[in-house]
Amino acid sequence: MKKIGTLHQGISKVIAGMGHGDMLVIGDCGLPIPPEVRRIDLALTAGVPTFLQTLSVVQQELEIESVVMANEMLQISPELYATTRSLLGDIPVETVSHEEFKKMTKQAVAVIRTGECTAYANIILKSGVFF
């Protein structure tokens, strides 16, 4: 039995299979997920698990080169945006419109759906390399 990092088999498998430049999405419970993209549904009930809890766990295992967030997150959910930026440290952040963000999710290896109910609590993590 695995004893460190994410214990979720689906998330662990996706991260282990990612290469440089691959994208993994963490989304709120309302983010539309394209049918052709793998869905990892963690939503148990409203708010469980949170976007930030999920991002914190994934960030421990995935080498993140850069991220993409929607401009609307900064405007509509500025506290969550600030906390997310703090959690990311020096990782470069690109912002795009929410419509563009949704188009980009079609290229992701997977979308992790959380129970988050904060508007625009979504992020695309672009895989880097650790060497």
Q: Is residue 46 part of a domain?
A: yes
- What is the distance between the alpha carbons of residues 71 and 54, in angstroms, rounded to a whole number? 21
pLDDT band at 120 (very low <50, low <70, confident <90, very high): very high
Please give the Cα distance from 73 to 118 (Å, whole number): 9
Tell how far CA 120 is from the center of its chain.
Answer: 12
* Catalytically active residues, by annotation: 20
Q: Is the pLDDT of residue 110 over 90?
A: yes
Decide if 6 is inside a domain: no
Cβ atoms of 69 and 123 closer than 8 Å: yes
3 inside domain: no
* Residue given tokens 């997920």 in the structure block: 33
Domain of 86: which CATH number? 3.40.1650.10
Q: Is residue 59 part of a domain?
A: yes
Instruction: Encode pLDDT of 36-46 as tens digits.
Output: 999 999 999 99
Residue 3 pLDDT grade (very low, low, confident, very high; cuts 50, 70, 90)? confident
Angle at 9 between CA 39 and CA 28, to 5 degrees: 35
Nearest to 41 by CA among 126, 91, 121, 111: 111
Give domain status of residue 18, yes or no: yes
Is the model's pTM score more than 0.85? yes
Any domain includes 85: yes
What distance in Å separates the CA atoms of residue 108 and residue 37, rounded to the nearest whole number? Answer: 7
Is 101 a member of any domain?
Answer: yes
Mean pLDDT over each residue of the chain, to the nearest integer:
97
Q: Sorting pLDDT into bands at 50, 70 and 90, what band is 1? A: confident
Strand partners, 70: 96
Question: Which residues constitute the domain of residue 64?
Answer: 11-127
- Residue 2 within any structural domain of the chain: no
Which pair of structure tokens corresponds to residue 103? 């188009």
Q: How many domains does the chain have?
A: 1
51-109 pLDDT per residue, tens:
999 999 999 999 999 999 999 999 999 999 999 999 999 999 999 999 999 999 999 99
Which pLDDT score is estimated for 2?
83
What is the per-residue pLDDT for 5?
85
In this predicted model, what pLDDT tens digit does every residue of 8-25 receive, in sequence order?
999 999 999 999 999 999
